[in-house]
Every structure is written in C-alpha cells, then in structure tokens.
Amino acid sequence: HEFNMDVLKAFVNLHEFGDMILVQALRQFLWSFRLPGEAQKIDRMMECFAERYCNLNPGMFVNTDTCYVLSFAIIMLNTSLHNPSVKDKPTVERFIDMNRGINDGGNLPVELLTNLYDNIKKEPFKIPEDDGNDLMHTFFNPIKEGWLMKQGEIPAYFRDGFI
C-alpha cells in the first residue's frame, strides 16, 4: 500500500492548484481521472487533494481537514443538485447548515459557501465516464507528444510508436 500511496501523491502533486478557488481546483482534479467505486479509495484521493490544495493555498482554511470535509460536501452537493433521481434538492440554506462547524469548530464565511453553492448549481462537475469518450481528452490534450524510440537488440533506436 505504501507504493500505491506514493504514486497517488505523485499524481496529485502534478496538479497546480495555486491561486485557484476550491471548486475550480476540484473541477480540474476530478476531470483528470475516473473516480473509483470504493469509498476508501475516494477518501484517500480526497485526503491527498486537500493536502495539496492547502499546501499551495496557505491560509485558505484553518487546516486540511476543513478543505477535505468541504470538498466532500461540494461533491455531494453536485450529486444532489444534478442527479435526476434525487427529488429533494438542497437549498443554499441547507448547504450552509450542513457545513456549520467544519472550520476547526468554527463556521466558514456564508459568502464562500453561497458562492460554492451557486457555482455548482450553475455548472455541474464534468467527470470522465468509462465509455471511452474520455480518450478524446487524452488524444487531443496530451502532456507530451512525439515518437517513442525503441532500442533494438543491435544498439540502434527505431521509431516505434506515437505518444
């Protein structure tokens, strides 16, 4: 498990969340992979996200736990507002109430929570699906591109694939 955590941390550290509002950073993060189905894995990913976000935006929250809890609350809000099977849609007042005391016992500013609510209500998260369409993102927004050079048995290199 230690290797997996090292890989997860390295992946999260590839993201630059500096000077981003939390919901913008979450959008970027959640678009970069497909969430696993297992709650424990999601939990670890969100912990690493919160740690990275807080390191790049010091003073934004009292501690990483606040960022972690609020991030989960935002994801749950997105689901509640935009899933057609959820009949009882939360109001901004309910979202604010649900997040009382998460800032190390204190409350986050109402204006911050209202802005987060409005942002999610207006624009739901786009999360890659497992239908192959997210490959479009991979092919049209590569991090690197060029020919792979494969070394043969004879000390020579051959163009063998495209990345």
**CATH assignment at residue 15:** 1.10.1000.11
CA atoms within 13 A on the CB side of 9: 8
| pLDDT value, residue 39 | 80
Cα–Cα distance list, 158 to 55, 118, 144, 146 (Å): 43, 54, 19, 13
pLDDT one digit per residue (tens) for the chain, 163 residues: 899 999 999 999 999 999 999 999 999 999 888 777 788 888 899 999 999 999 999 999 999 999 999 999 999 999 899 999 989 999 999 999 999 999 999 999 999 999 999 999 999 987 665 554 444 444 445 555 665 555 556 655 545 444 4
Domain that holds residue 85: 2-162
pTM (2 decimals)?
0.75
Contact assessment for residue 49 and residue 12, using Cβ atoms and an 8 Å cutoff: yes
| pLDDT value, residue 64 | 96
Q: Is 38 one of the annotated active-site residues of the chain?
A: yes
Distance CA 22, CA 51 (A): 12
Distance CA 35, CA 15 (A): 16
Distance of CA 95 to the CA centre of its chain: 20
From the candidates 2, 38, 129, 153, which is the catalytic residue? 38
What is the domain count for the chain? 1
- Residue 163: in which H helix or E strand, if any? none
